Amino acid sequence: MHCFAVPRAVSQLLLCGALVLGAAVARADYVWLSPGEAGTAVAEAGLLDGERVPMAGFGEVDVSQGGEARTALAADGDRLLVSGLQGDGDLRLVGHRATAEGALMYYQAKLGRQETRASLDLELVPTEPGGNTFRLMWKGNPVSASQVNVTTSEGWSRVLRPAKDGTVTLSTPFPGLYVLELTAKVNGSATVDGKKYDDVRHTTTLSFVVQP
């Protein structure tokens, strides 16, 4: 049994349950981050290669860079614009929303692959800075995913299967934005704002840009 730590920005989110990674979970919407103009990044929801989900429907969103909170968030249509970024530290986001079907989706996203230590509950981290081999971490401990989905801004997609040590390795044959995504289900319930949800899912993404 695992109990989820409650992020600062979603303090009313209470979760406790076992994380299901071995069983196949249907592909779900996710949130990903991409670089914007200088000092900015963009957060989008839905599918990189499909329909978008307006981020206005999300609960409170928490963004941090290098362990420091970034509160400069602004709506940009269906997206969120993060500003005031400095340096090359990886950018992280957490948020949640309830779906029309009554499921609670808990989102975690990271932009960058320089930091090899996880700080999100569910996070893909490179085994070396800037590397193409990644390990899935759950509450700071390595776990093995059944698969990791990869989509790029150029329409190229792959499904990665774990090696014996639980890591996944990705080739980056062309330039563009790469988004690695995984969805896991929680065997347990969650209560948000006094409402109980029996269907609780986590999604996590890792995105980075490969230059020409």
Average pLDDT over residues 196-207: 92
Q: Is the pLDDT of residue 179 over 90?
A: yes
| Residue numbers of the domain that contains 104 | 2-210
Closest CA to 167 of 196, 199, 191, 143: 143
Domains: count for the chain = 1
178-202 average pLDDT score: 87
Structure confidence by residue, pLDDT tens digits, 104-142: 889 999 999 999 999 998 999 999 999 999 999 988 889
Task: Give the C-alpha separation, 58 to 113, whole Å.
Answer: 26
Report pLDDT for 171: 93
Pairing of strands 200-210, 104-111: parallel
For residues 93-99, give the mean pLDDT. Answer: 90
Averaged pLDDT score across all residues of the chain? 84
Summarize the confidence of residues 130-158 as an average pLDDT.
91
pLDDT tops 60 at residue 183: yes
Q: Beta strands 62-65 and 68-69: pairing type? A: antiparallel
